[in-house]
Amino acid sequence: MNKQLYKNLLDNELKKIKKENRYRIFNEIKKSDSFPLAKKAYKNKFKDILIWCSNDYLGMSRNELSIKRAKDCLDNYGIGSGGTRNISGTHSPLVKLENDLANLHCKQKALVFTSGYVANESTISALTSIFKDSIIFSDEKNHASIISGIKKNKCQKYIFKHNDMIDLENKLSLVDINRPKIIIFESIYSMDGSIGDLAGIVNLSKEYNAFTYVDEVHAVGMYGKTGAGISEKFNLQNDIDIIQGTLAKAFGTIGGYIASDDLVCDAIRSTASGFIFTTSLPPLVAESARASIEYLKSNSELRIKQQENVKFLKNELLKHDIEILKNITHIIPVMIRDAELCNDISKHLLDNYGHYIQPINYPTVKKGEERLRVTPGPFHNKKMMLDLVDSLEKTFRKFNFNKTRINAA
């Protein structure tokens, strides 16, 4: 059998990706108990680095309470869950976790999936199957998992301009009021750090009889009085049909979920293949997630410190004329606007100054919008942040990257 044909196809695809400067480098990281400090593997050695691009936004992966609960659960339950939800995988810690998530979002029920990606893809796919002849209205900057869920059943869709309520209403007005409609959007968009117009979408959904679905993965744990996200912050939890979130970012563990009413969750758990046909989360993960939720509901110190650090770093970057996309969230996009240069700057920062910030290139962002995505947390200090700004300036000078070049681009 001649397999050269397949090897050539694979090789050509990789060459194309590399030529377009979007070949992904996966850095091996050895985390320490002093997050955000870590070590990066260089051949047979490990070098000290400082992580600036983690989605462990509050450092909860090292929270003592969460770790203790996981260890205790490990002794009581072992490692694996033993099966799918239908086949011995519905263990007590998971049931309790779903109850905790429902309470967090003021909903009747919650369902836990193996990841936020699976939660989005599975739930959206199931909804478009249940709501026959449904039509999707999706923000143009929605996450890949949302797009994948929409594509699975090849339903009709409208893509509306980011946060543009006029464009959304114009598109809603084209559809029969009695036809099933689902508006899908995010509360915080991870690459820009912009906040979705939740209130505007809720108002339009009521006027045009639409079902609402919000992705809160970059907000849960950090916004709202108890960390339930932007929908809690704006007091809109009861007005949104499905709230989707993750346990893998601010809560510091792994897994995704949806929270809604009993009827919605019963229908999703009965039809979503990504929920039915995969092994459930291990008990120790469920228990550590419960501990993280409990901790962040009653402790606001980490959120407050994170917000202080974000404000400080944004001010320092602007003070040194480093272009960032302005927003009021914890995500700081440092704009480079060139794929090759973005890769080079990221590598130079890591190899020469120990600052680890992965480059963000196409297709994650549009071509010409390449950036470094910085996410300072509560455990970064002012010395670290000042050193980062200084290292960025030195690196920019090395590559002759300045405001003039930005404007020319």
Q: What would the pLDDT profile of 119-147 be if each residue is shown by its tens digit?
A: 999 999 999 999 999 999 999 999 999 99
pLDDT digits (tens, 9 = 90+) for 200-223: 999 999 999 999 999 999 999 999
What is the model's pLDDT at position 409?
38
In this structure, are residues 346 and 316 in contact, taking their beta carbons and an 8 Å threshold?
no
Mean pLDDT within 346-364: 95
Region 283-295 average pLDDT: 98
What is the pLDDT confidence band of residue 269, given thresholds at 50, 70 and 90? very high
Angle at the Cα of 329 from the Cα atoms of 55 and 317, rounded to 5 degrees: 90
Structure tokens at 167: 């464009």
45-51 and 109-113: which strand pairing? unpaired
d(CA 145, CA 93): 27
Q: Are strands 332-335 and 371-374 parallel, antiparallel or unpaired?
A: antiparallel
Mean pLDDT of 363-378: 96
Structure tokens at 113: 């999936």
C-alpha distances (whole Å) from 247 to each of 67, 336, 403 are 14, 31, 39
What pLDDT, on a 0 to 100 scale, did the predictor assign at position 407? 41
Would you list the DSSP string of 269-313? HHH-HHHHSSBPPPHHHHHHHHHHHHHHHH--HHHHHHHHHHHHH
- Mean pLDDT score, 149-170: 94
pLDDT band at 1; cut points 50, 70, 90 = low
Give me the pLDDT at residue 404, please. 43
Spatial separation of the C-alpha atoms in residues 285 and 254, rounded to whole Å: 7
- Under the banding of pLDDT at 50, 70 and 90, the label for residue 163 is very high
Specify the pairing of strand 211-215 against strand 181-186: parallel
172-195 per-position pLDDT tens digit: 999 999 999 999 999 999 999 999
- Residue 30 scores a pLDDT above 90: no
Q: What is the pLDDT of residues 384-409, one digit of tens each?
A: 999 999 999 999 999 998 754 444 33
Examine the pLDDT at 108 and tell me if it is beyond 60: yes
Averaged pLDDT of the chain: 95
Please give the share of the chain, as a percent, with pLDDT higher than 90: 90
Which position has the higher pLDDT, 230 or 401? Answer: 230
Instruction: Give the residue numbers marked as catalytic.
Output: 249
Kindly report the length of the chain. 409
Distance (Å, whole) CA 158 – CA 164: 13
pLDDT in tens, 311-332: 999 999 999 999 999 999 999 9
- Please state the rounded mean pLDDT for residues 135-161: 94
Share of the chain above pLDDT 70, in %: 98
Tell me the pairing of strands 256-260 and 109-113: antiparallel
Give the pLDDT of residue 276.
97
Whether residue 180 has a cis bond before it, omega within 30° of 0: no
